[in-house]
Copies of this chain bind each other. A is one copy, B any other.
Amino acid sequence: MKASRALAFARQHRSRFVAELKQFMRFPSVSNQPQHARDVRDCAKWLAKHLRQIGMEQVRIIPTKRHPIVYASWQHASGRPTILIYGHYDVQPPEPSDEWRTPPFEPSIRQNILYGRGASDDKGQLFAHVKSIESYLKTQRALPLNVKCIFEGEEELGGSPNLESFVRRNRPALHADAAVISDTRMLGTGHPALGYSQRGNIRFELELRGPEQDLHSGNFGGVVHNPLQALCEMIAGMHDSEGRIMIRGFYDRVREWSDEERGYMASTGPKDADILRDARVSKDWGETGYTLYERITVRPALTVNGISGGYQGSGVKTIIPARAIAKISIRLAPDQNPATIDRLFREHIAQVSPPTVRVEIRTLSGSRPVMVNRNHPALHAASLAFEKGFGAKPVFLRSGGSVPAASVFQKHLGIPPVLMGFALPDDRAHAPNEKFHLSNFFRGIETSIWYMAIAAKMSPGKSEAPQGRSTQQKQGQI
């Protein structure tokens, strides 16, 4: 099957594709805010209906403990490889809402850039594959290979809490040769990238309780331990002055890389100045002895994502607050294990907790780090597809963020995640004014079209999975 007819179709229907993406983005599918549960469900329904309309089969909305998974497949390419296409239709909260130039759920286009929550993370990237599928099915009533789509609604909950059990439960039906995941970033405009490494992730909520209720700081200031102060002391003690994490045993499994790998990273990855520019900060911070690219990919990081405690309104309220809460996430270097870090973190907190406050730790979610062999044929196919779609050979890039699905597919299906990102580093994922360049959306569609055509020719048996697996489609029940 040739890519050319699909490509022509995709080019012809660009403006409709963009209009549809805007529709998709209008659902405020904020998975971690209970008030948006219905919006998440509505978004799933819209997506499922859309997949049916473009000709996908076996379309299901599969409930989980919280937000549903949208599944669809097309499995008539007998004898050809099967790819999983993964994406997530849920989005981060829009807060701080007043910093958006245009409302987060009213997508708008300025200078060929699409603005709105989910533009690049991940509705826009997910939709590039949907439109690639449509371009084949509408022109040739077939795909070059077998496709199974898993579009989940819980990625932004942190750690995709219910994806793993879904995949484990449906292992036979989900057999595939590679998992295509477009939820990562390129190196920069015109410089596509293929991910081969991701940091893991584990998130905590740390709550300190002091007095039963807020106390007047005049009447009691000086004799009652302030849980907010105690929290600050704990957090301050989590790093040394060099930016290293001060949890006993924390670095035991953090690998020091060979000069060869560090050289490869230095030649392919972003430079310090690029990373600072993307972050829009003038000075770096963190562990000495590593490039910034190394610090955000092969070194772990502990980040306080939020603190709330005491009075936060305007003016003054002179209290000793009754409690304080911090949200903390730890990014794990390759080889670190979330369960181990969970234990070490809890041991550390237990050790530094003062007797004057009660401390509770809630582990919110975790995901393992991911490493893929850069020489896997599925990545080679992706590299060729990028050359066609973006007109440039992609670099192999490590990523600091985590797509939990990648580790889930790797562990339970034994297939390599193909981290094929269409977003830019400064696309403001998770931040106000999130964006997606339409040129990258269109190139993403074409790259996906090319990927299917090229991967269709992958020889079976080269994948690195431990389990037996065949290139024949399995018509298992989902």
- Chain A residues with CB under 8 Å of chain B are 31-34, 92-93, 95-96, 99, 157-158, 185, 199, 201, 203, 210-226, 228-229, 231-233, 235-237, 239, 243, 275-276, 278-281, 283-287, 292, 295-296, 299-321, 324-325, 327, 329, 331, 354-356, 364-365, 399-402, 425, 428-433
26 residue pairs A–B, Cβ–Cβ below 8 Å: A157-B315, A157-B316, A211-B279, A211-B281, A213-B431, A215-B279, A216-B401, A216-B430, A219-B429, A221-B329, A222-B300, A222-B301, A223-B292, A226-B304, A229-B235, A236-B236, A303-B318, A304-B310, A305-B320, A305-B321, A306-B310, A306-B312, A307-B308, A307-B312, A307-B324, A316-B365
> A330 to B193, alpha carbons, bound, how many Å?
53
A interface secondary structure, majority: loop
- Check if B319 sits within 8 Å of A401, measured CB to CB: no
| Contact with A222, one of B211, B286, B306, B425 (Cβ below 8 angstroms) | B286
3 shortest interchain CB distances as A-B pairs: A218-B401, A306-B310, A32-B315
- Check if A222 sits within 8 Å of B400, measured CB to CB: yes
- Check if A304 sits within 8 Å of B214, measured CB to CB: no
Task: Please indicate the chain B residues that have their CB under 8 angstroms from the CB of A402 in the complex.
Answer: 218
User: Given A212-B280, A216-B429, A219-B425: A320 and B295 within 8 A (CB)?
Assistant: no
User: Given A93-B317, A305-B310, A315-B33: A236 and B232 within 8 A (CB)?
Assistant: yes
> Min CB distance, A145 to chain B, in Å?
31
Task: Please indicate the chain B residues that have their CB under 8 angstroms from the CB of A223 in the complex.
Answer: 275-276, 279, 284-286, 292, 295-296
- Check if A221 sits within 8 Å of B400, measured CB to CB: yes
